[in-house]
Amino acid sequence: GAVVSQHPSRVICKSGTSVKIECRSLDFQATTMFWYRQFPKQSLMLMATSNEGSKATYEQGVEKDKFLINHASLTLSTLTVTSAHPEDSSFYICSAEIGRSTSTDTQYFGPGTRLTVL
């Protein structure tokens, strides 16, 4: 199956600092990647859709200046949480799709990044 990696797996940072999370598709090219946020015992909430070579599309209520997304290549997307605060602490998961961006293609998820902001 398709493999998606995320780095780092865990990060603890001080309030006010920025944190970058990388999402890589290891054995396939991903035109589209997705970034999710998940709170304990809750569902996956889509934050943004990241398209290679273009600006990300953010979901309503997600601050694009706070959650910077860059999809510089077909195998790498990054999410930078700028000026992180304790309320940004969460489990961030990326996913990548194989295919032609239709709903018949599924998403493969990375292992997630646990962010804790002190």
Partner 1 sequence: QQPVQSPQAVILREGEDAVINCSSSKALYSVHWYRQKHGEAPVFLMILLKGGEQKGHEKISASFNEKKQQSSLYLTASQLSYSGTYFCGTANNNAGNMLTFGGGTRLMVKP
Q: Does 112 bind partner 1 (CB under 8 A)?
A: yes
Our CB check for partner 1 shows the closer of 49 and 80 to be: 49
CA distance 98 to 26: 12
Comparing CA positions, the residue from 72, 75, 43 lying closest to residue 56 is 72
Which residue, chain included where needed, has tokens 């990548």?
96
Our CB check for partner 1 shows the closer of 49 and 82 to be: 49
Q: How far is CA 8 from CA 5, 19, 95, 112, in A?
A: 9, 10, 15, 8
CA distance 113 to 88: 12
Please state the closest distance from residue 94 (CB atom) to partner 1, in A.
9
* Segment 34 to 73, residues that bind partner 1, using CB under 8 A: 34, 41-46, 49
Contact segment (CB under 8 A) with partner 1 among 62-70, 71-79, 81-89, 93-101 equals 93-101
Binding footprint of partner 1 on the chain (CB under 8 A): 1, 4, 32, 34, 41-46, 49, 93, 97, 99, 101-112, 114
